[in-house]
Amino acid sequence: MTQFEVHDHDVLAKTRALMSETESPKEWADEVVKAVKRNEEWRGKRCLNLLAPEAPTSPTVRALLSSEIGTRAAEGHIGRVNRWFAGTQHIDEVEALCVELLKIAFRCNYADHRLMGSMLGNLTVYHAFTNPGDTVMTASQPFGGHSSNRDDGPAGFRGLNIIDVPYNPETLEVDLEKFAQVARQHKPKLVVMGMSMTLFPLPVREMSQIVSEWGGKFVFDGAHQAGLIAGKQFQDPLNEGAVVLTGSAGKTFSGPQSGMLMWNNPELTEPLTTAIFPVLVATHQVNRVAALAVSAAEMIEYGEKYMSQIVKNSKALGKALSDRGIRMLGKERGFSETHQVIADVKKFGGGLEVAHRLAEANIVTNKNLIPGDGPEDWDRPSGLRIGTIEITRLGLNETDMETIADFMARVLINGEPTESVGKDVVDFRLPKQDFYYCFDNGYPSWMG
Ligand SMILES: *Cc1c(COP(=O)(O)O)cnc(C)c1O
């Protein structure tokens, strides 16, 4: 019998073999807990986690994720009459705090807290402001775009006609002249800039201005940059012409994995919030909302220094890797103004191969498409994306970036066995287990 299974057949077969050793559901459950524990011991304690879309939460935020309130059902908008269920007064308090804290963190008039992820945030925007058949413009993946704004994601699901935002492959910048020309020709209802590979600010002001000529809207999908924006270390899209800012709370914002939606114009409230409820969410994980509220408070208190150190660490890591002979994108502009640096690792075997080799040495990164890669390179692209969120929250600074670049260069340039490098990585990481820039632990001690 042939079965279609999207997941890796070997991994599932190995799991079935393990499960066949017993018929006890309790033992199957134990296996789940053991795998979670193994991950915690390895990724949580021993690895240098350099995944750009990943962030550690503070102890308080993490504890809230398993709080009792997460077992309660709440749907709809905040308030006695809006809710279908009674008994939600304390849930209302938590959610109202979350909304108000998000507004302060993002310096905006309105915010929504109910989405499970930015994927749904973007679908909210497409649902609220487009109809099937409408044209939108978004960035393609080799320039850093994300599937949520492309044919295979929410934008495609909405039945939209998607045109690429033109990029200059040399400078990695939006080609504004071409953009103006293509946009004026097609008059897209929305231009949505969502960059998963993001090194430098975007020309939000210029693009919004152009789109406004025919009443189109500019939306900034700040999934990655939300924390940087809240911490005032990046451009402020809502102040530069974007009508909506979407964001993932689990990336630079360093909260629980969630979607966030921010806007200023009261006329957008009705279309956006009715797309959220009752279209895209009903019960919305109040434990996650509570955790999001506290992480917003952390951003308000610690965001500026935390995000500023993230950017300093990116610049330092980019330079250190470049100095060691690894080609880094954006070198001429100082490598990065965000939490990411991008390496061209084609000559070391490409992104897939390099990411797995580094993971053997307990350094976790991801393969990435970079300009020059074509559709055929999707699974084996030339780039490697390296993020500094977690290492920054562990209290590391520019000096430590030299050490981390040394570990990476030993694997890539010197071809040292991953086992020996991996041992040194563990020795480096094990003494560093506390997360800073939060009410639990304050600032790293070297900050004084
Ligand atoms: C990660 C990402 C998303 C999706 O965010 P989730 O919170 O994981 O759903 C959307 N847009 C961009 C640009 C992203 O990088």
- Pick from 371, 312, 393: nearest CA to 141: 371
State whether the beta carbon of 146 lies less than 6 angstroms from ligand 1. Answer: yes
State whether the beta carbon of 337 lies less than 6 angstroms from ligand 1. Answer: no
Mean pLDDT of 252-263: 98
CA 276 – ligand 1 centroid, Å: 17
| pLDDT one-digit tens code per residue, 76-94 | 999 999 999 999 999 999 9
The token pair at 431 is: 């003494």
Bridge-partner residues for 366, per DSSP? Answer: 385
| Residue nearest atom 15 of ligand 1, based on CA coordinates | 196
Give the pLDDT band of residue 166 (cuts 50, 70, 90): very high
Per the listing, tokens 């999908």 go with 221
| pLDDT one-digit tens code per residue, 269-305 | 999 999 999 999 999 999 999 999 999 999 999 999 9
Mean model confidence pLDDT for the chain: 96
Q: Look at phi and psi of residue 219 and say left if phi exceeds 0, alpha if psi is from -120 to 50, else beta.
A: beta
State whether the beta carbon of 221 lies less than 6 angstroms from ligand 1. Answer: yes
- Pick from 116, 124, 123: nearest CA to 286: 116
The token pair at 358 is: 């580094």
Q: What is the pLDDT of residue 307?
A: 98
Task: Give the C-alpha separation, 263 to 294, whole Å.
Answer: 21
Please list the alpha-helical segments (H only) found in 24-166: 25-39, 59-64, 89-106, 118-129, 154-157
Give SS3 for 194: strand
Cα angle: 443, vertex 445, 448; to 5 degrees: 85
Nearest atom of ligand 1 to the alpha carbon of 122: 10
Give the pLDDT band of residue 2 (cuts 50, 70, 90): low
Mean pLDDT of 344-353: 97
State whether the beta carbon of 119 lies less than 6 angstroms from ligand 1. Answer: yes
Our mutation pick for probing the ligand 1 site, out of 114, 119, 252, 281, counting the most ligand atoms within 8 A of Cβ, is: 119
Angle between helices 25-39 and 9-19 (to 10 degrees): 130
User: Which residue ranges form the domains of the chain, and what is each CATH number?
Assistant: 61-296 (3.40.640.10), 303-447 (3.90.1150.10)
The token pair at 61 is: 């935020």
Name 322's Cβ contacts closer than 8 Å, sequence gap at least 6: 328, 331, 335
Would the pLDDT of 1 be above 60? no
The token pair at 1 is: 């019998």
The radius of gyration of the chain's CA atoms, rounded to the nearest angstrom, is: 22
Question: 441 — phi, psi (to 5°)?
Answer: -125, -5
Q: What is the pLDDT of residue 171?
A: 80
Name 166's Cβ contacts closer than 8 Å, sequence gap at least 6: 174, 175, 178, 179, 182
Answer for the pair 232, 303: CB distance below 8 angstroms, yes or no: yes
Nearest atom of ligand 1 to the alpha carbon of 120: 9
Task: Give the C-alpha separation, 90 to 62, whole Å.
Answer: 20
- Pick from 125, 275, 266: nearest CA to 192: 125
Q: What is the pLDDT of residue 142?
A: 86
Would the pLDDT of 439 be above 90? yes
Name 176's Cβ contacts closer than 8 Å, sequence gap at least 6: 203, 206, 207
CA 248 – ligand 1 centroid, Å: 6
Q: Whats the size of the chain, residue-wise?
A: 448
Nearest atom of ligand 1 to the alpha carbon of 249: 7
Task: Give the C-alpha separation, 196 to 26, whole Å.
Answer: 40
Specify the DSSP element, H or E, that contains 427.
Answer: helix 418-429
Bridge-partner residues for 138, per DSSP? Answer: 164, 192
Please list the alpha-helical segments (H only) found in 328-394: 351-360, 389-393
Mean pLDDT of 201-210: 98
Q: What is the pLDDT of residue 170?
A: 77
Per the listing, tokens 């413009």 go with 137
Please list the alpha-helical segments (H only) found in 171-254: 176-186, 204-212, 226-230
Q: What is the pLDDT of residue 3?
A: 67
State whether the beta carbon of 196 lies less than 6 angstroms from ligand 1. Answer: yes
- Pick from 109, 89, 90: nearest CA to 99: 109
| Residue nearest atom 1 of ligand 1, based on CA coordinates | 223
State whether the beta carbon of 252 lies less than 6 angstroms from ligand 1. Answer: no
Specify the DSSP element, H or E, that contains 400.
Answer: helix 398-412
Mean pLDDT of 314-340: 97
The token pair at 49 is: 């986690």
CA 433 – ligand 1 centroid, Å: 27
Task: Give the C-alpha separation, 387 to 341, whole Å.
Answer: 7
Nearest atom of ligand 1 to the alpha carbon of 195: 13
DSSP 52-64: TT--PPPHHHHHH
